[in-house]
Structure 1
Amino acid sequence: MPPDLHSGERMKERVHQICSSALCVFPGIRPSPDEYRKAALILTDNDPDQLQALLQLPSLPESTPILILITDETIPPSILKNVTTRLIDFLVVPVSQEIFLHRISFLCQVQKISAEHHAHSATLDKQLKALSTRDPLTGLFNRRHLTTNLREVVETAQKNSSHLSLLIFNIDFFNKVNKSSGLHFGDFMLNELAARLTIASRDIDTCYRFSGEDFVVLMPGADLDQAYRIAEKISNACSAKSYSHNGRKQRITISAGIASLLAHKPDSHDDFITMAETALFMAKAYGRNRIHIYSPQNTKEELSSRKSLTFLKETLNRTLEKTRNSVIASLQLLAQSVAGPEHQAHISTVSHYVTLLGKQLGLPEQHIQTFRNAITLYNSFRSLLHNDLLAKPGKLSHDERKTMGDLPFKLTELTDIFDYFANERNVLLCHGERYDGTGHPHGLKGEEIPLGARIFSIVDAVAAMNAERPYRRRLTHGEIVEELKKEAGQQFDPFLVCQVLTVIEKNRLFDLDPHVLQQARQELFAGFLKEQP
């Protein structure tokens, strides 16, 4: 017997024989929002107003299909005008009960698959958001999230004329800690400090790792007095107890700067950060281990009284920066004379990739420049030391591979001559490490490897695979993607592999269908989720 469009209750009985969670929206039936949320299928007639209301229901999941029963084979024009990703199906009635019930069963199966897909996509989105907004070492929000969130928080505070204070602080003499106790201890200290910071700040405050040993705390509703008290509590929490790890102990102090939205009236969120950084600079200038509140007039007077010292510091910094750039340029020119134009082409390509990936990750320009310097130093020294091996066709011998394996130590020794290459040195030393811990020289694993070295490793490999070499042909773009997938979690950081694929797609670096790159990312995310406990 065919379904009766004019009897909602009889239709409901018929449908529920096959799918008990299907929902009939016909005359005489008014489902609740909860019923819409739980529905596996919606059945309705071709009333355009009714359909429009259904499509606008916030309680109706996107994965729930709609079956429209129509009396002729003409699809209502109002349906065609609606742009939606929801499955909308049509069935001409009258129709046999067997066909009707079969269609109901089929759509309920489709809904189950669609619901699983939406749940999986939501999980992936959540994972990606966590990866892109959190600092992997400390678990705090990262600078990218601060850039996004600060603009919104400032606009909200300005709209409500409410207090908002920004605290920025860093660890005093942290470079000495890294040199004396090692990078592992330095990373432990940053992680432990982040935990203390989280406990000492208020629940409504938001904490960020700004860069390196710099941290930011956003304090909604806090005026300058309250912000200063919070800063003192954070300072005590970070400094009162020594940091102990693997038999090493170290005590630290922090210097901090505070700026207020209402008191200082910054022109933009960038200006807000600059004000707090200026206050931090004054805390450093007065001997560190203190908290300084931004004050334009005081800053001007204080800088005037210390003009000679400040001017000397700034002049030395500029001179050192010029010297660093001059050394890099000289090495690059010397290496090019030995290795030829291919050397410069490779450096340019890798530097371009690093810039794109650094911006994709939201890294500060200062860090990206450090990575670019490391790339130039690495390739220049490598060409100067081992150009004969690099130009050799065929595989290297055991002794030749050992010679190349010692390169990180040679690079470290060479850059020790120039202390201003300290940041680049970490990248150079760890370039040969692998994400799975089987690399050299120290066998570092996962996030034990500095981020700069992980970035350099993957972009250097992509540039190399995308170029002709004496010992092998240039790989196709499809082969490069397959190689990245294969080495994700082994040679390369899986998260960075996903980000590189995104950079390739966004900037059209490869001649590939975007769906190929999207599929590759989905496969990597699926693998990542399987590995989660």
Structure 2
Amino acid sequence: MNKKIKLLVLCRENENISELKTLLKKIKSSYKFSTSFSQGLSWLKKDRFRIILVDIDSFSLYPQRIEKFLKRAKAYNPQLLFLIISNPAFLNLARKFLGKGLSFYIKKPIVEQEIKIAVEYLSRFYELAVRNRELKEKLEAFNKKIESFSLIDFLTSCYNYRYLLKRLEEEIKRAQRYLRNISLVSIDIESLVDINEKYGEDIGDLVVVQMANILKKRVRGNDIVCSGGEGRFYIILPDTSKKEAKSFSERIFSYIAGHKFGTKSKNISLRVNIGIAVYPSEGINSPSSFIKASQKALATSKHSHNPITIYSHKLVFKGEIQDVESLQKKLESLNRLVSEGLVDMIHGFAKTIDAKDSYTGRHVEDTAIIAEKIAKKLKLPPQEVENIKHAAILHDLGKVGIEEKILSKKGKLTPKEMKRIKKHPLIAAQILKSVHALSGAVPAILHHHERYDGKGYPYGLKGEEIPLSARIIAVADVYQALISDRPYRKAYSKKEAIEIIKKESGSQFDPKIVKAFLEIVK
């Protein structure tokens, strides 16, 4: 070894001290001798030793003090290791301290080769322990960094939807404990799709970033701005009452109304709709119900002349019938119309997809068959099975907004083209959001490219954060794509495709869904 090994030797008998000094000089060690526990601890504070060599014979009358010393020594340096020597008469006492840190025992009389091997072994183990600790600290720091990235929306640098769910859960617990209010404000940019079509997606993205910057500058230090994607933002306002949240929303609305977005040559005026939900309120008992409440208030704003709406469990859209009997009659009439026209509507959308991309047209029909079978295998309710079937047919509807040259490209997509492709779930959700009859299919369509490990898009949802319907379509979609010819590759065999699905279970796909899938494709 090139470097001298630092040892602290605890020994109080002169004869033993002399013998140990002679031996330690021969093995390239740097050492200090201590004849008392207090002196030993003093040395430990001043220097970084690797090994403590304890001559048990010298302190055989003080076993409790030895144990206390070893504990305090480890507190100074957790990587510290112990080498214990003793006469055979004190073997039982020595055994008591084996395992207090990594211990090595040598029986007297001491042989030079034995102590050399012991010191070198413990020194090497010390180096590995230190290296392991350093790597562990780096890994923890790296994991924290990765975790922080997974909670950030890359376009706006705001927190994302996943963080919103996590933070709301924490804030609800805090509010319950301290009997405080939390307000959640949902803000939606009107006509963002129109802006993208008229000025291009770069300007649309710029507008969203500008909006994010405005919101971040106008919140308090403890407020949290999160991006919901596609021009929607959520702002968590801790310790904020309904009245205070409304006042805050009015200020934001007024500022946005008087602000110009875009560039100098492309000045754009925006209108936003705002929904407010306040905890505690009836029907709000979890992060998801809190978000749904603010979304319901937001939807009410969109369908009324009032751009700011506060959630109430009695909230109804303008024009809705509040009398229960007449409401039921209205729903029955609407349901009949929906049932008659829904199939035609879905097939009409499917033809739109087929006209844009013939592969996609065929692919969605086959995907729907597989997805429906998986849903039935999982014994989902009939309505949920229908929603999944509809979603499977329409899951690629957003590709109508993607250029044909990208859809049919034979080579690798550029980062810009990949970014464009990744927009298709959001485009589809935007198209269908106003089609009430298909509202049950929208979550699956929006999230079918999320991954079980959280590395998917558009929001990086993980595990059961992803709607079950989307997890089902993810498996059916990929399997059907694998066994189909694509512009850039030939189809895989059924056996090869199944092996790929199995391999991705637990990472890309929900293992529970994969298990059901494997049973239906036997």
Q: If the length of structure 1 is used for normalisation, what is the TM-score?
A: 0.57
1:257-308, CA deviations, whole angstroms, 9 ceiling, x for partnerless residues?
Answer: 11221465733333322322222222222236x2222234564887448999
Selected match of 1:92 from 102, 105, 121: 105
Cα pair 2:83 2:105 within 8 Å, conserved: yes
Instruction: Report the alpha carbon displacement of residue 157 of structure 1 after superposing the two structures with TM.
Output: 0.6
Shift of 1:160: 0.4
Superposition RMSD in Å: 5.8
Whole-angstrom distance in 1 between the partners of 2:182 and 2:236: 7
Contact in 1 for aligned 2:79/2:130 (Cα 8 Å): no
Query: Do the aligned residues in 2 keep the contact of 1:7 with 1:27 (CA within 8 Å)?
Result: no
SS of corresponding position for 2:38: coil
Do the aligned partners of residues 304 and 225 (structure 1) sit closer, same or farther apart at CA in structure 2, a change above 3 Å counting? same
Correspondences of 1:17-416 after superposition (within 5 Å): 27-28=37-38, 41=50, 43=52, 65-71=79-85, 89-93=102-106, 96=112, 98-245=116-263, 247-262=265-280, 266-287=284-305, 290-297=307-314, 299=316, 303-304=320-321, 323-327=344-348, 372-373=392-393
Deviation for aligned residue 1:253: 1.4
Which amino acid letter does the alignment assign opposite residue 90 of structure 1?
Answer: S
* Deviation at residue 133 of structure 1 after TM alignment: 1.3
Deviation by residue 1:392-433 (Cα, 9 ceiling, x = unmatched): xxxxxxxxxxxxxxxxxxxxxxxxxxxxx4x45346858649
Q: Is the 8 A contact 1:163 1:220 kept in 2?
A: yes
Instruction: Give the paired residue count.
Output: 405
- Bigger mean CA deviation after superposition, 117-126 or 101-110: 101-110
Report if the CA contact (8 A) 1:200-1:237 is conserved.
Answer: no
Distance 1:259 1:505, change over 3 A: closer
Read off the aligned partner of 2:507 and give its amino acid letter. Answer: T
Q: Could you say what secondary structure the match of 1:28 adopts?
A: helix
Contact 2:80–2:126 at 8 Å: present in 1 too? no
Task: Note the C-alpha offset of 1:99.
Answer: 3.3
Q: Give yes or no for the alignment of 1:425 onto 2:414.
A: no
> Where does structure 1 lack aligned partners over 5 or more consecutive residues?
83-87, 354-366, 378-420, 485-498, 511-533
Alpha carbons 1:171, 1:255 under 8 Å: kept: yes
> How much does 1:161 deviate?
0.6
Cα pair 1:243 1:249 within 8 Å, conserved? yes
Match of 1:450 in 2: 422
Counterparts of 1:369 and 1:240 in 2: how far apart (Å)? Answer: 45
* TM-score normalised by the chain length of structure 2: 0.58
Aligned-partner Cα distance in 2 for 1:240–1:176:
20
- CA 431–119 in structure 1, closer or farther in 2 if over 3 Å, else same: farther
Counterpart Cα distance in 1 of 2:123 and 2:206: 57
SS of residue in 2 equivalent to 1:257: strand
C-alpha separation in 1, matches of 2:511 and 2:69: 37
1:203 CA displacement: 1.0
Displacement of 1:159 in angstroms is: 1.0
Which AA in structure 1 matches 2:308? Answer: I
Q: Distance in 2 between matches of 1:163 and 1:267?
A: 13
Cα gap change, 1:465/1:331 in structure 2, threshold over 3 Å: closer, same or farther? closer
Provide closer, same or farther for how the CA distance between residues 53 and 321 of structure 1 changes in structure 2, counting only shifts above 3 A.
farther
Distance change in 2, residues 1:275/1:346 (3 Å)? closer
Distance in 1, matches of 2:363 and 2:276, equals: 50
Deviations 1:337-394 (A, max 9, x none): x99x9996667779999xxxxxxxxxxxxx999984455x5xxxxxxxxxxxxxxxxx
2:379 matched residue in structure 1 = none
How many Å separate the matches in 1 of 2:338 and 2:94?
Answer: 72
Aligned residue for 1:93, secondary structure, equals strand
Q: Quote how far apart the aligned CAs of 1:167 are.
A: 0.8
1: CA distance, partners of 2:250 / 2:40: 59
- What amino acid sits opposite 2:242 in the alignment? L
How far apart are residue 324 of structure 1 and its match? 4.3
Offset at 1:205?
A: 0.5
**1:165 Cα deviation after fit:** 1.0
Deviation at 1:216, TM superposition (A): 0.8
Tell which structure's C-alpha radius of gyration is larger: 2
Q: Contact (CA 8 Å) 1:44, 1:66: kept in 2 or not?
A: no
Between the aligned partners of 2:74 and 2:388, the Cα distance in structure 1 is 46
Task: Percent identity, please.
Answer: 15
| 8 Å contact from structure 1 (residues 171, 214) kept in 2 | yes
Q: How far does residue 449 in structure 1 lie from its aligned partner after superposition?
A: 4.9
Task: Give SS of 1:195's match.
Answer: helix
- In structure 2, the gaps of 5 or more residues are 1-6, 55-62, 86-90, 375-386, 426-447, 457-473, 516-522
Alpha-carbon deviation of 1:131?
A: 3.0
CA distance in 1, matches of 2:450, 2:152: 21
Work out whether residues 187 and 275 of structure 2, in 8 Å CA contact, stay in contact via their aligned partners in 1: yes
